[in-house]
């Protein structure tokens, strides 16, 4: 496993899909075309909560090309979208629960006709009382919109005796924090095309992270067995979690239309309706409390954490669980008490977003750790170093950290690179500039709460000419999965990279491999590919050795060739010999994550199979006259195990950091009286090229013995700690301890003025 001996793993190879995307040849969901295709459009709820009395499409029927209306009456199966708690109807019968919810659909011969017809459909309704504050939703006398208490999900973690430990602490600090939504802002909006087949089957082309979620939803809505539904992932223009669960709803709507009208149907959202109705990062409220002795040893932690789930559960129980597990931070603390809730409100349902419930609580606890350091008169990094997890320590759930833990090294790297120990607040007129620190640990994969989904399949087929087809169940959505997984296949088979072909997912070719989330693709699909490749490798290496007149252990394999002395055989020649000997040249692989022991009753046990780590230092300048901030530079270091492709790992870091920065200081979705006020890229402010900070990225490869070539997971750790690092830099620069994200200029200015 010495990386110097690898041909492809650990190399910064170019993306295999770079050319077709750069040249505009990639076919995204809205580029596909089918004979006789209709276009669908959604009829949406005009208010946050309504009782539906009737739906009238008489005016829409006058639109040229109008095909008809689809309502809950056209759902052939069960009218419940199968995702976690199954509480979201494909199309509501009696009640719509948020502004923008799809109440019905229309289909027409053109997109313009469909949009016009949808605007003419009249919903006769009665407006119902609604609730938009998650904390008020949890009050006893609140409007009840979900169960008896508006609680969609809740969890606890209890370790030691926190209340008793606080009494023995020299310093106790407690604060409340809030974070707002974050919109995924993928360039390609939600798109699905459903094509009814002659034998009663349904094929759906979907822009999705999770094709098997889509399969389950389409089968359920259409009342079809799974073997009559095929989902093909179209080239996907960004996801970040926003194409995990909700594409299943979009695809089910397209399929219902196709089923009724017996023609292909395209449903593609415009930007406004994508904003209004698709999932977001959950807003949060938290109260965090730390207690420490005078030497800075943290003795106790208590957290109450509430997520605003929106009108339906979707993925909130799983998002909440991840936040719960990580709520005390990456520290070795003996006494912990955590209680968490996902509260229902009459707003857009929230779901997965890069980091999956952890960035919100990380912003709170890493901000408070900095404030604790100030109260102890300690350097913030020194305080963390005294308490941060290392090999042999136990997490909040009592899980023992194994030897794949580089957190302290990461902190030391960014400390040195940034010149932290010599840094001081710089003053330039009205501007103040300083450094802020944060650190993170991140459970790779779905963990104990999602263990039934934590598996992956692969199919590897080697043709006579030595070309290799690899199919997996996890998706490429811009992160470089096709490239990294190709490198793993090439390395294991000793096949040239040019011979490997990975395609977008087709659910008829591979088994359900769970969602492409939680930084799990390299780990799960990589291991499945290796399992499929190993029997094939055995055959190929045996034939190569025979051709070289050597023992199998005597030959060397590198770069697509086999060597013995001065003789060599190519991969293609060895494969040709395998075919001549009628050896099996296709295999399936299946990988299941190791068992976890987490106990839902007290939150104790192994929550994840392994953790990745990060440390961030933000160099931030604040204008104390305007509250505006400039993030000049981010120093970041990561332990994600072996880097399969360093160049792609750096790219992941750059993208994650920028998303974290946008959420920290500028992205601000406004919902007032249940109505979204800025559902567009004009008024929802995103970072642009001129906002990009300078990056200083480092990696420490702490190898994970169960990972493919000892890799862990990379996708999400770059985002999680950025907001807290920026907040802590702002505090150091101008002396205000902000407790809300985004840290908008006007809020910062107000805090500065109040401090004076």
In the DSSP assignment, the letter for residue 14 is P
Q: For residue 748, give the H/E element and its range.
A: helix 745-755
Closest CA to 458 of 558, 541, 534: 534
In tens, the pLDDT along 374-432 reads 999 999 999 999 999 999 999 999 999 988 999 999 999 999 999 999 999 999 999 99
Query: What is the structure's pLDDT at 650?
Result: 97
Q: What's the CA angle centered on 696, arms 692 and 701, to 5 degrees?
A: 130
What is the third-level CATH fold of 284-448+598-755? Answer: Aldehyde Oxidoreductase; domain 4 (3.30.365)
Closest CA to 447 of 320, 288, 303, 261: 320
Give CA–CA dist 640/740, Å, rounded.
Answer: 29
Q: What is the mean pLDDT of residues 490-517?
A: 94
Can the peptide bond before residue 546 be classed as cis, meaning omega within 30 degrees of 0? no
The SS3 call for residue 9 is coil
Q: Are 39 and 266 in contact (CB under 8 A)?
A: yes
Q: For residue 1, name the pLDDT band (cuts at 50, 70, 90).
A: low
Give yes or no for residue 4 having a pLDDT over 90. Answer: no
Closest CA to 28 of 264, 236, 242: 236
In tens, the pLDDT along 720-737 reads 999 999 999 999 999 999
583, burial (CB in 10 Å: exposed 0-12, middle 13-18, buried 19+): middle
In the DSSP assignment, the letter for residue 693 is P
In the DSSP assignment, the letter for residue 669 is -
Q: What is the mean pLDDT of residues 246-256?
A: 98
Query: What is the structure's pLDDT at 517?
Result: 86
CA 351 to chain centre: 9
Give yes or no for residue 141 having a pLDDT over 90. Answer: yes
Give yes or no for residue 750 having a pLDDT over 80. Answer: yes
Q: Are 314 and 303 in contact (CB under 8 A)?
A: no
User: CA 520 → CA 473, 527, 537, 605, 653, distances in Å?
Assistant: 12, 11, 25, 21, 16
CATH 3.30.365.10 region(s) of the chain?
3-25+455-592, 32-128+184-277, 284-448+598-755
Q: For residue 24, name the pLDDT band (cuts at 50, 70, 90).
A: very high
Looking at the structure, give the CATH architecture of the domain made up of residues 3-25+455-592: 2-Layer Sandwich (3.30)
Q: For residue 2, name the pLDDT band (cuts at 50, 70, 90).
A: low
Query: What is the structure's pLDDT at 449?
Result: 87
Give CA–CA dist 271/755, Å, rounded.
Answer: 41
3-state helix, strand, coil in the chain (%, to 5): 30, 25, 40
Query: What is the structure's pLDDT at 454?
Result: 86
Query: What is the structure's pLDDT at 129?
Result: 98
Q: For residue 741, give the H/E element and its range.
A: strand 740-741
Q: Which two tokens stand for residue 146?
A: 């979900």
Give yes or no for residue 653 having a pLDDT over 80. Answer: yes
Q: For residue 323, name the pLDDT band (cuts at 50, 70, 90).
A: very high
579, burial (CB in 10 Å: exposed 0-12, middle 13-18, buried 19+): middle
Query: What is the structure's pLDDT at 756?
Result: 76
User: CA 396 → CA 159, 320, 611, distances in Å?
Assistant: 7, 15, 13
**What's the chain's average pLDDT?**
97
| H-assigned helices in 559-645 | 571-580
Whether CATH 1.10.3720.10 fits 32-128+184-277: no
| Residue 76 CB contacts under 8 Å (≥ 6 apart), including other chains | 221, 222, 223, 224, 256, 259
| Residue 210 CB contacts under 8 Å (≥ 6 apart), including other chains | 243, 244, 245, 247, 248, 475, 514, 515, 516, 517
Beta strands in 527-596 (DSSP E): 556-558, 561-564, 567-570, 586-592
Closest CA to 577 of 461, 460, 466: 466
User: CA 78 → CA 141, 253, 311, 546, distances in Å?
Assistant: 33, 13, 20, 59
Give yes or no for residue 131 having a pLDDT over 70. Answer: yes
Q: For residue 368, name the pLDDT band (cuts at 50, 70, 90).
A: very high
Helix 646-665 × helix 358-376 angle, to 10°: 70
In tens, the pLDDT along 671-693 reads 999 999 999 999 999 999 999 99
């Amino acid at each position: 496993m010495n990386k110097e001996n690898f041909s492809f793993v650990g190399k910064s190879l170019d993306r295999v899909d770079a050319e077709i995307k750069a040249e505009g040849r990639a076919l995204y969901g809205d580029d596909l075309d089918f004979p006789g295709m209709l276009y669908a459009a959604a009829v949406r709820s005009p208010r946050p909560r309504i009782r539906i009395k009737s739906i009238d499409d008489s005016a829409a029927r006058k639109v040229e090309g109008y095909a008809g209306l689809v309502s809950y009456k056209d759902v052939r199966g069960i009218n419940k979208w199968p995702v976690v708690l199954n509480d979201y109807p494909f199309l509501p019968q009696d009640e719509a629960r948020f502004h923008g919810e799809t109440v019905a659909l229309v289909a027409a011969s053109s997109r313009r006709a469909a949009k016009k017809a949808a605007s003419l459909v009249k919903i006769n309704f009665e407006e119902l009382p609604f609730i938009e504050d998650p904390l008020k939703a949890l009050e006893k006398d609140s409007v009840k919109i979900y169960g008896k208490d508006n609680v969609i999900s809740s969890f606890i973690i209890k370790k030691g005796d926190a209340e008793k430990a606080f009494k023995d602490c020299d310093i106790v600090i407690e604060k409340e924090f809030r974070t707002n939504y974050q919109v995924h802002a993928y360039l390609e909006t939600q798109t699905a095309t459903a094509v009814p087949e002659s034998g009663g089957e349904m094929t759906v082309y979907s822009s999705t992270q999770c094709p098997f979620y889509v399969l389950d939803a389409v089968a359920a809505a259409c009342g079809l067995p799974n073997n009559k539904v095929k989902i093909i992932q179209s080239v996907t223009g960004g996801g970040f979690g926003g194409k995990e669960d909700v594409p299943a709803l979009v695809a089910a709507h397209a399929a219902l239309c196709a089923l009724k009208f017996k023609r292909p149907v395209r449903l593609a959202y415009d930007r406004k309706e994508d904003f209004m109705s698709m999932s977001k990062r959950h807003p949060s409220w938290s109260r965090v409390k730390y207690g420490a002795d005078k030497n800075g040893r943290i003795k106790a932690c208590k957290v109450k954490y509430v997520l605003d789930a929106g009108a339906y559960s979707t993925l909130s129980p799983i998002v909440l669980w991840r936040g719960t597990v990580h709520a005390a931070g990456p520290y070795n603390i003996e006494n912990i008490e955590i209680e968490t809730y996902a509260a229902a409100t009459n707003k857009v349902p929230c779901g997965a977003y890069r980091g999956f419930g952890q960035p919100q609580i990380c912003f709170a606890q890493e901000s408070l750790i900095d404030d604790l350091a100030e109260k102890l008169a300690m350097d913030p990094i020194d305080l963390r170093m005294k308490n941060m997890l290392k090999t042999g320590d136990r997490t909040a759930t009592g899980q023992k950290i194994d030897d794949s833990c580089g957190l302290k090294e990461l902190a030391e790297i960014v400390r040195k690179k940034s010149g932290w120990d010599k840094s001081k607040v710089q003053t330039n007129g009205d501007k103040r500039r300083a450094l802020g620190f944060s650190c993170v640990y991140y459970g790779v994969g779905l963990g104990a709460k999602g263990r039934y989904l934590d598996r992956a399949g692969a199919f590897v087929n080697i043709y006579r000419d030595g070309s290799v087809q690899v199919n997996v169940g996890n998706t490429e959505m811009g992160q470089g999965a096709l490239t990294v997984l190709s490198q793993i296949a090439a390395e294991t088979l000793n096949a040239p990279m040019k011979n490997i072909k990975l395609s977008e997912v087709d659910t008829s070719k591979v088994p359900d491999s769970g969602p492409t989330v939680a930084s799990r693709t390299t780990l799960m699909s990589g291991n499945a590919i290796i399992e499929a490749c190993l029997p094939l490798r055995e055959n190929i290496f045996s034939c190569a050795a025979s051709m070289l007149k050597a023992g199998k252990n005597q030959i060397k394999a590198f770069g697509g060739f086999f060597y013995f002395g001065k003789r060599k055989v190519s991969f293609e020649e060895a494969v040709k010999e395998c075919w001549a000997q009628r050896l099996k040249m296709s295999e399936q692989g299946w990988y299941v994550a190791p068992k976890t022991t987490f106990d839902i009753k007290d939150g104790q046990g192994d929550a994840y199979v392994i953790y990745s780590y990060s440390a961030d230092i933000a160099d931030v300048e604040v204008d104390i006259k305007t509250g505006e901030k400039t993030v000049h530079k981010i120093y970041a270091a990561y332990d994600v195990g072996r880097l399969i492709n360093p160049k792609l790992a750096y790219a992941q870091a750059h993208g994650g950091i920028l998303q974290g920065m946008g959420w920290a200081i500028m992205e601000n979705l406004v919902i007032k009286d249940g109505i979204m006020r800025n559902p567009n890229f004009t008024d929802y402010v995103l970072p642009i090229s001129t906002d990009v900070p300078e990056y200083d990225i480092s990696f420490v490869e702490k190898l994970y013995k169960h990972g493919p070539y000892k890799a862990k997971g990379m996708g999400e750790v770059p985002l999680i700690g950025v907001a807290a690092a920026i907040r802590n830099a702002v505090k150091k620069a101008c002396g205000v301890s902000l407790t809300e994200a985004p840290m908008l200029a006007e809020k910062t200015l107000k805090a500065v003025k109040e401090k004076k």
